[in-house]
Chains A and B, each alone.
Chain A
Amino acid sequence: MEKRLIGLDICDTYTQVCCAGPGEVQNYPTIVCKKKSGDVWLVGQEAYACALEGDGVIVDKLLKLLRKDGTATIGGVRYEGLDLMQKFLECVLAAAVAEADRAALLQKSEADGETIQAQSDAAGGGEPMAEKDADALPAAAEAQTTDLHPAYDSSRISRLVITVPKISAKLMDMLVCCADRLKLSRDCVRIISHTESFLYYVLSQKREVWNNQVGMFDLSEDFLCYYEMKVQRGMRNVTVVAEREKLDEGFNLDILKTPSGVKLADKILCSCGERFLKKKLFSSVFLTGKGFETQEWATDFMKMLCVRRKVYVDQALFVQGAAYKAADLEREKTVYPYILVCDGRLDTTVSMKVMRRDQEEQLVLAAAGDSWYEAGGTMEFILDGQQYLEFLISPADPKRRKVVKLTLEGFPERNDKTVRIRLKTTFLDENTMSVEVKDLGFGEFFPSTGATVRQEVML
Chain B
Amino acid sequence: MSVILCRKENVSHPFFIENLGIHVYTSQELCYAIYNHPLLALDGFIDRNLVDFIREELDMGYTALKMERFMKSGENQDELLFLFLQECDYYTTAEINRLRQKVAALRKLPPLEYAKRKADYLVGFKQYGRAIAGYEKILESYLARKADDAFLGKVLNNLGACYARIFQFDKALAAYDRAYAKLKDVAVLERIYHLTLMNPKISLKDRYQSIVTEEMKAAWNEDFVKAGEDADQSDGIRKLEEMFGRDPIRRMEGARHLLEAWKQEYRGMA
A residues in contact (CB < 8 Å) with B? 352-358, 360, 363, 379-386, 389, 416-418, 420, 442-445
Contacts and interface: CB of A to CB of B under 8 A. Distances in A.
Contacts of B93: 358
Please provide the 8 A-B residue pairs with the shortest distance between their CB atoms, ordered closest to farther.
Answer: A380-B6, A386-B1, A443-B29, A382-B4, A355-B2, A385-B1, A444-B22, A354-B5
B151 interface: no
19 contacts: A353-B3, A354-B4, A355-B2, A355-B4, A358-B92, A358-B93, A363-B5, A380-B5, A380-B8, A384-B1, A384-B2, A386-B1, A417-B4, A417-B28, A417-B32, A443-B29, A444-B23, A444-B29, A445-B29
A354 B2 contact: yes
Interface string B129-162: 0000000000000000000000000000000000
B82 interface: no
Nearest to A379: B5
- The SS class assigned to the B binding surface is mixed
B26 interface: yes
Give the one of B4, B8, B90, B93 with max A CB within 10 A: B4
A356 B7 CA distance: 11
Interface string B66-105: 0000000000000000000000011111000000000000
Contacts, number: 71
Interface string B157-195: 000000000000000000000000000000000000000
B6 A381 contact: yes
Contacts of A417: 4, 28, 32, 90-91
A443 B5 contact: no
Nearest to A382: B4
Contacts of A383: 3
B4 A418 contact: no
A420 B5 contact: no
A420 B22 contact: no
Nearest to B30: A443
A445 B6 contact: no
Contacts of A445: 22, 29, 32-33
B204 interface: no
Interface in B13-61: 22-26, 28-29, 32-33, 36
Nearest to B86: A357
A382 B1 contact: no
B259 to A, nearest CB: 19
Contacts of A418: 32
Contacts of A442: 28-29, 32
Given A442-B29, A443-B24, A389 B89 contact: no
- The SS class assigned to the A binding surface is strand
A443 B22 contact: yes
B23 A382 contact: no
Nearest to A418: B32
Contacts of B36: 416
Given A354-B4, A389-B3, 8 more contacts: A355-B3, A356-B89, A357-B89, A379-B5, A382-B6, A384-B3, A443-B24, A443-B29
Give the one of A353, A382, A386, A443 with max B CB within 10 A: A443
A63 B77 CA distance: 68
B133 to A, nearest CB: 24
B6 A443 contact: no
A5 to B, nearest CB: 32
Given A417-B28, A420-B28, A443 B23 contact: yes
Nearest to B36: A416
Contacts of A379: 5-6
Contacts of A357: 89
A354 B89 CA distance: 12
A388 to B, nearest CB: 9
A384 B22 CA distance: 23
Contacts of A363: 5
B4 A381 contact: yes
Contacts of A355: 2-4, 92
Nearest to B26: A443
Given A357-B89, A442-B32, A445-B29, A384 B23 contact: no
B260 to A, nearest CB: 14
Contact of A381 (B5, B8, B23): B5
Interface string B205-249: 000000000000000000000000000000000000000000000
A382 B90 CA distance: 9
Nearest to B21: A444
Contacts of A353: 2-3
Contacts of B6: 379-382, 420
A254 to B, nearest CB: 59
A195 B254 CA distance: 60
A355 B26 CA distance: 18
A193 B23 CA distance: 50
Give the one of B8, B23, B26 with max A CB within 10 A: B26
Contacts of B91: 417
